[in-house]
Amino acid sequence: ETGVTQTPRHLVMGMTNKKSLKCEQHLGHNAMYWYKQSAKKPLELMFVYNFKEQTENNSVPSRFSPECPNSSHLFLHLHTLQPEDSALYLCASSLDSGIYEQFFGPGTRLTVL
């Protein structure tokens, strides 16, 4: 595997389900990001992790819970989501959270019924 990978690529869940999104980067980077892309809205930054420590939480509801066990892996745990949470969730990584180019994964298309 190369670059940034995300699994699953597609996910359909009910509002009472609990699921997790996974991101893995194979670039030796130290910063990882979660973004949300909703229809007709710009990409929104959700969380930033630098060297496994969370450095940004852009007022994201608590039903989204990130986890970064090491610099290569990032998870987004989902529970009791709403239909308006349906979106493309993108993961990115960079050398660190300074002024470095971000590399994006293919995204997970989430549908909440």
Partner 1 sequence: KQEVTQIPAALSVPEGENLVLNCSFTDSAIYNLQWFRQDPGKGLTSLLLIQSSQREQTSGRLNASLDKSSGRSTLYIAASQPGDSATYLCAAAYSGAGSYQLTFGKGTKLSVIP
Spatial CA neighbour of 20 closest among 72, 66, 76: 76
- Residue 112: CB minimum distance to partner 1, A: 17
Binding site for partner 1 (CB under 8 A): 4, 6, 31, 40-43, 45, 48, 50, 55-56, 88, 90, 92, 97-99, 101-107, 109
Q: How many helices (H) and strands (E) does the chain have?
A: 0, 11
Residue number with CB closer to partner 1 (2 or 16): 2
CB of 18 vs partner 1, minimal distance in Å: 25
Q: Hey, what are 26's tokens?
A: 């194979």
- Min separation Cβ 57 and partner 1, Å: 9
Least separation in angstroms between CB 67 and partner 1: 18
Distance CA 92, CA 106 (A): 9
Is the Cβ–Cβ distance between 47 and 34 less than 8 Å? Answer: yes
CA distance 37 to 39: 7
